[in-house]
Amino acid sequence: MPSSLPLRYGTNSQQAPARIFMRSDADLPITVLNGSPGYINLLDALNSWQLVRELKVAIDLPAATSFKHVSPSGAAVGTPLSDVLKKIYFVDDLELSPLATAYARARGVDRMSSFGDFIALSDTVDVSTAKLISREVSDGVIAPAYQPEALEILKKKKQGKYAVVQIDPAYEPPTLETRDIFGVTFEQRHHDRSVTRADFTNIVTKNKDLPESAIRDMLIAWITLKYTQSNSVCYVLDGQVVGVGAGQQSRVHCVRLAGAKADLWRLRQHSSVLALPFKSDIKRPDRDNAIDQFLQPDVTDAEKSNWANIFSETPSQLTPEERRAWLDGMSNVVLGSDAFFPFRDSIDRAAKSGVKYVLQPGGSNRDEDVIAACDEYGMTMVFSGVRLFHH
C-alpha cells in the first residue's frame, strides 16, 4: 500500500492540490478498491470506521453506520427487524444477513439525512449487504474486507465510480495526533478511551432500574457520540440510533433536533404512513421526501398541490391528537449526551419522545435540578464521568 494518495481537491473544488499521506514512511492503512474517494469521503470513512469497530468490540454484533459531513445520521448493530421496520426501511423484499440488517437500520432511521452517505461496516461485506447498498444513493463504503461477488456488485454502482475502500482492521494510529489549522499545528492524545460497563454504574436518580437492553443502547449512544460533531446528543432504542442532534451551539437545541428525528421515525410506523397510496413509479428518495412532508404539521396548500404527482389519491394527515397518541406509545428510549446538561429543559423535551434512560457525564452546577427533573418523570440517569466532545 502507498504512503500517500492524491485527491482531486480538498473540502471544496477550489482547494487544490489535496492528498492524504502518512507522516512516517508507513503505508496508508486503506486501499481504494474502486472509484476515487474525495477529501470529505475519507474524513467520513476514517471517522465512521472507528465507530463501527468500537461498536463491534463492545456489543459483539455486526455494526454499521451511515455518515454525512463527518457525523453519523444513523448507527446500529444487527438485531432482528420487525415487519414494520422492514417496510419503512424499504427492505421487506430482501433477505438480510446480520450485517445487512445493521446497515438497513443505520440507513433507514433517517433516510433523508442518509441520502448520499458514506457507509462503514464492521465485518466482511457479504452479497446481501452489497445488494442493499447497490440500490441506495450513496457515495462510498469502508470495510475490512469484501466477498468477491459483493465487490463486483459494488463496482457496478454509479457507473463504476462508486468508492470502495478497504481498511486494515489491525491498524492502530499513533498515540499522539496532530492537525494544522491556519498554519498552526495542534497536538493531542488520540481519543483511545474505550467504553466499559463501569461507565454505567453511577446511577444518580431514585430509579435505579437499568436492564441489559438499556445498557446495550447506552453503549451504542456512548460510542456514537464519540464520533459525532459537538455539541451532540442521540436517542437510541432497540439497538439503533433513532435520532441524532449534532453540531449545535445549544444543548437543548441538539435534544430538540434529535427528538424531532426520533419522533419522525416513530410516526413513520403509523398505519396511515404505511398505507400511503404512492404511485407505482415513485422512487425511494422521492418517497422519503414525501413521507417527511406528509408528517410535517404545517404543510402549505402549495406544497400539497404536488401530492397529485406522488399519490394516487390525496391522503389525510394525522391530527395533532393522533400524532400525540402515537408518539406516547414510544418508550424505553435512551438519551445520550456528549457533555453535561446545564438545565432541566433537555429532560423535559426528552420526556416527550419516550426517554426512560439518560446517559451523561455530569458535572454541571445544576446537576441537582437535572436529577430532580429525571425523578419527576421516573427516568434512570447515569453519570458516566466521561466527556465525549468531538471536533
List pLDDT tens digits, range 73-83: 999 999 999 99
Contacts of range 211-216, beta carbons closer than 8 Å, 24 or more positions apart: 213/238, 213/332, 214/332, 214/334, 214/356, 214/357, 214/380, 216/59
**Quick check: 1 pLDDT over 70?**
no
Q: Inform me whether the pLDDT recorded for 223 exceeds 80.
A: yes
> How would DSSP label each residue in 68-119?
ETTEEEEEEE-PPPPHHHHHHTT-TTS---HHHHHHHHHHHTTHHHHTTEEE
CATH of 4-171 among 3.30.420.40, 3.40.140.20, 3.40.190.10, 3.40.50.620 = 3.40.140.20
Selected catalytic residue, list 69, 158, 253, 304: 69
Active site residue 391: yes
How do residues 259-309 score in pLDDT, each as one tens digit? 999 999 999 999 999 999 999 999 999 999 999 999 999 888 888 888 989
Overall residue count recorded for the chain in this entry? 391
Residue 312 in 3-state DSSP?
A: coil
Catalytic residue among 34, 226, 231, 390: 231
Q: What average pLDDT score do residues 353-365 get? A: 97
Residue 306 or residue 1, greater confidence: 306
pLDDT of 360 over the 70 cut: yes
Going through 251-354 in order, the beta strands assigned E by DSSP cover 333-337
| pLDDT at residue number 3 | 85
Average pLDDT over residues 166-193: 95
Q: Which residues contact 273 (CB under 8 A, 6 or more apart)?
A: 88, 267, 291, 294, 295
Whether 231 sits among the annotated catalytic residues: the reply is yes
Decide if 4-171 and 177-267+327-383 have a common fold.
yes
pLDDT above 90 for 169: yes
Say if CB 153 and CB 130 are below 8 A apart. yes
User: pTM score > 0.75 for this model?
Assistant: yes
Sign of torsion, CA 144 101 79 67?
positive
Examine the residue annotation and report whether 68 is marked as an active-site residue of this protein. yes
State yes or no: pLDDT of 15 exceeds 70: yes
Domain 177-267+327-383, CATH number (from 3.90.1150.10, 3.40.720.10, 1.10.1060.10, 3.40.140.20) = 3.40.140.20
pLDDT digits (tens, 9 = 90+) for 320-345: 999 999 999 999 999 999 999 999 99
Domain ranges in the chain are 4-171, 177-267+327-383, 271-317
- Write down the mean pLDDT value for the chain: 96
pLDDT value at position 2?
A: 76
pLDDT in tens, 238-248: 999 999 999 99
Of residues 34, 41, 56, 68, which has the active-site annotation? 68
**Residue that has been written with the C-alpha cell 495542534 in this structure:** 186
User: What's the mean pLDDT in 250-257?
Assistant: 97
CA distance 234 to 247: 12
pLDDT over 90 percentage in the chain: 95
Pairing of strands 18-21, 4-7: antiparallel
The upper half-sphere exposure of residue 13, i.e. CA atoms within 13 Å in the direction of its Cβ, equals 0
